[in-house]
Structure 1
Amino acid sequence: MIVSYLIITLCVQVSIAAVTDGYKSYKDYKIYEIEGDMFGMQKLMGYLQKNYELPYHSRRGDKCLMLVAPDLVPLVDNMAKAGGLTTKTIVDDYSEIIKIEKANPLRSDGFSWTAYYDVDDIYGYLNNMSKTHPDSAQVVVGGQTYEGRQILGLRINTPTRNIKPVMFIESGIHAREWITPATTTYFINQLLTSEDPQIQNLRNSFDWHIFPTVNPDGYHYSYTRDRMWRKTRSKSSWRCYGADPNRNWNYNWLKHGASSNPCDYQTYGGSKPFSEIETRSLSKYITGLDNLVGYVAFHADAQMLLLPYSDSTQHTGNYDDLKQIGQTSLDYGFEVNNEQYKGPATAAEILYKASGGSMDWVRYTKNTPLAFTYELRGRYFYWPPSRIHEQGDEVTQMMLGLATEAAKLGYY
């Protein structure tokens, strides 16, 4: 069997996505759904990951989704058949999705939530909001990047004599998850401009520290060069680029769901914990926050709510409270679009084990009582820009539900 695989492999050249105007087109790349025996799935995935660049792959239960280069299609088909696995084409040509995004027909001259914007535009929006609302909003620097950018966020803290509990929000840690910075800026806009008394009270209840993109180098690269880019942009001695910034935090580093291979396209955990300046500098910012009661991370696109710890099925001391708060949050969100999220539960229970993530580090190091990761909606990291407001409204209500239930349980 192995010999037959090797023969096929010799006939297959490593495929590189066609480049159009400096941007990888992913012409004729296919999204495959592979289903069958778990052992066969592991064997197939292990072989492909070791020998080829897989821009995207995700295994959930007895199913696997992967983005397959056209030259690799015969190999994947033959290996799947030999292993008793079934394959189904979900997307025939991923470049068509990219064309839709790049066309950006609803983009306005200013900043809107009908299009996706690059880092400088996002930062411009944050600066504009701080100028428009000088009494309650100010731009803050959460860290630095490998390419010399600042990690900018917005602190929203309406004037009061009381010391407020701090709520920290981060998104965009994985570069290709474009819906998360868009949704986060939408939420910022709601906090600062909504006339709804409940949202105004939500704004006034916390000292907010909100960072729409904590991996700006990677996001910019995804926006301008490679849509499926996930990592940072640091360069390793292997002449490969980037580490997964959500596998690089100093909590059970490299124990589960991470790779030690610098050329791994998705989950390379870095040369050591906090090897990436982005995670190292952001962790210092977080460490300096007193009275941190809540930490929220936004990802895409598994449509679920995750609790710490991501690499364990053992529960934290206040797990029942987190589950109750999280469920109320999801209930509030459900009222917007009738969309059901999985969870709340740990990633190890409903997704996969993953170590070295930001939420787990914050929970463990800072003992932050309220720690959540929201996996937003979408498919293969695509969400129609004309519908950004749907998830923005959901997230706004989710945050309202989280805060409401947390207050009832006495967390602030």
Structure 2
Amino acid sequence: MSLIAKVTSPGPQKPLGDVLRVPLGIDVWEVKPDHLILRGTEAQLERLSRMGYLVEQLEDVERHLSAFATAAAAEQYHSAASLEAELRQLAEARPDIAELKEIGRSIEGRPILALRIGDRRGGVPKLLFMGCHHAREWIAVEVPFLLAKELVERADEAPIAGWLTSGEVWVAPMVNPDGHEYSRTAQRLWRKNRRRNDDGSFGVDPNRNYGYMWGILDIPTSSHVPSDETYVGPRAFSEPETQAVRDLVGCERFAGVITYHSYTQLILYPWGYAEKPVPDVQHREQMVGMAEEMQTLMQGVHGKVYVPQQSSQLYPTAGDTTDWTYGSYGIPSFTIELRPRTFQEGGFILPPGQILPTWEENRPAVFRFIEQLLAAPVA
């Protein structure tokens, strides 16, 4: 039986951070200052109890799924096929400024698509927005898609017209189409891609498979065990999904990157692999300042608080997207963890009525990001 549990420390002799360093195969959902929310088997949770931690079983996973993962809710989210159809419609509606590009193919042969939006003048600054490295994070498809939709449909209005004249925006809403489709049709909480591993298990975590500091950690949040949720893969860029992003970034040399995930409402910046901050003071101050401004803009819409912090403050990761885009190219890079804040609100299964409000509160932050990095005047 799979259970959702709250884990707390009995005292300073048992720091919560140590749980994230023990090879238990647990699925970490939330990391708070005073507790963790985990998904695990009864045996895994019993082991944590024997280690001296306080473990409170909160809910059976099946009950959680029955409450949130309804067929009616799923219909309000994109599938890989419906996303492709709508991206194609956007490109066909405005061929003068929008072009749908296949940047790669997944393990199972699905296209990995990016919509390029802009006048294509050559030599202009470019920004990249991505979603759905992790299959179960469906809201992380919808926010970048709604960004692309608004940019195309309002391409002749200020300030968007100015941005698209002075630069380009690339939007890849579904980096992991195989995993996403599997989460729709077979296992709603599936996280990884659909690589068949040598031990018979399935999946590599795409957000642990990038080349910068790949594999230097071997902990529950960056695991070398193929069956674990955060399996880093057999080597850096072993997966066609991360190869597609690698090749796109290497070719286009973006001026800024945002990658969307869920959940817990965070704005994360490098490093993830180390507690130390990035060494370049100017870069660090730029990313911290941008994250804090995003927080203010987001909170001003619906009052939801997104917390800005260095990625490793959540938990340590090696081989993630933004460590690679910043570490290899110096690109200002952010991971935005979208709604909700807690699993009680749905966790990875955000009720579809919150899709539009989530986009609405992210909209001013992403528009400010575009304005800053494309350096276009606002009319």
Please say if 1:130 is aligned against 2:91: yes
8 Å contact from structure 1 (residues 56, 228) kept in 2: no
Please say if 1:176 is aligned against 2:148: no
Residue 225 of structure 2: aligned partner = 261
1:188 to partner: Cα distance: 1.2
8 Å contact from structure 1 (residues 192, 203) kept in 2: no
Deviations 1:159-181 (Å, cap 9, x if unpaired)?
6x574211011110011111100
Aligned residues with identical type, % of pairs: 23
Please say if 1:64 is aligned against 2:29: no
**1:187-202 map, 5 Å:** 187-194=147-154, 197-202=158-163
Please say if 1:334 is aligned against 2:299: yes
* 1:274 partner SS: coil
Residue 119 of structure 2: aligned partner = 158
Amino acid at match of 2:146: Y
The change in CA–CA distance for 1:55 and 1:258 in structure 2 (over 3 A counts) is closer
Deviations 1:60-85 (Å, cap 9, x if unpaired)?
4442211244xx2xx46655554443
CA distance in 2, matches of 1:311, 1:77: 26
CA distance in 1, matches of 2:24, 2:150: 42
Amino acid at match of 1:245: P
Higher relative contact order (CA 8 A, sep 6+): 2
Residue 286 of structure 1: aligned partner = 249
8 Å contact from structure 1 (residues 40, 84) kept in 2: no
1:45 to partner: Cα distance: 6.8
* 1:210 partner SS: strand
Amino acid at match of 1:186: L
Residue 24 of structure 2: aligned partner = 49
1:403 to partner: Cα distance: 3.1
8 Å contact from structure 1 (residues 55, 229) kept in 2: no
CA distance in 2, matches of 1:305, 1:409: 24
Counterpart pick for 1:232 among 187, 193, 202:
193
The change in CA–CA distance for 1:234 and 1:401 in structure 2 (over 3 A counts) is same
Counterpart pick for 1:360 among 323, 330, 335:
323
CA distance in 2, matches of 1:391, 1:45: 29
8 Å contact from structure 2 (residues 133, 175) kept in 1: yes
The change in CA–CA distance for 1:140 and 1:255 in structure 2 (over 3 A counts) is same
Amino acid at match of 1:223: R
Please say if 1:209 is aligned against 2:170: yes
1:42 to partner: Cα distance: 6.7
CA distance in 2, matches of 1:47, 1:329: 34
**Equivalent residues, number:** 363
8 Å contact from structure 2 (residues 301, 360) kept in 1: yes
CA distance in 2, matches of 1:367, 1:77: 41
* 1:254 partner SS: coil
Amino acid at match of 1:189: K
8 Å contact from structure 2 (residues 167, 374) kept in 1: no
8 Å contact from structure 1 (residues 175, 219) kept in 2: yes
- TM-score where L is the length of structure 2: 0.86
Tell me how large the CA RMSD over aligned residues is: 2.8
Segment drifting more, 316-325 vs 189-198: 189-198
Amino acid at match of 1:308: P
Counterpart pick for 1:385 among 332, 335, 352:
352
1:103 to partner: Cα distance: 2.4
Structure number with bigger Rg: 1
* 2:260 partner SS: strand
8 Å contact from structure 1 (residues 332, 400) kept in 2: no
Deviations 1:9-39 (Å, cap 9, x if unpaired)?
xxxxxx4xxxxxxxxxxxxx43211111473
8 Å contact from structure 1 (residues 44, 79) kept in 2: no
CA distance in 1, matches of 2:70, 2:333: 35
Please say if 1:36 is aligned against 2:9: yes
**1:12-23 map, 5 Å:** 15=1
Residue 336 of structure 2: aligned partner = 374
Please say if 1:347 is aligned against 2:311: yes
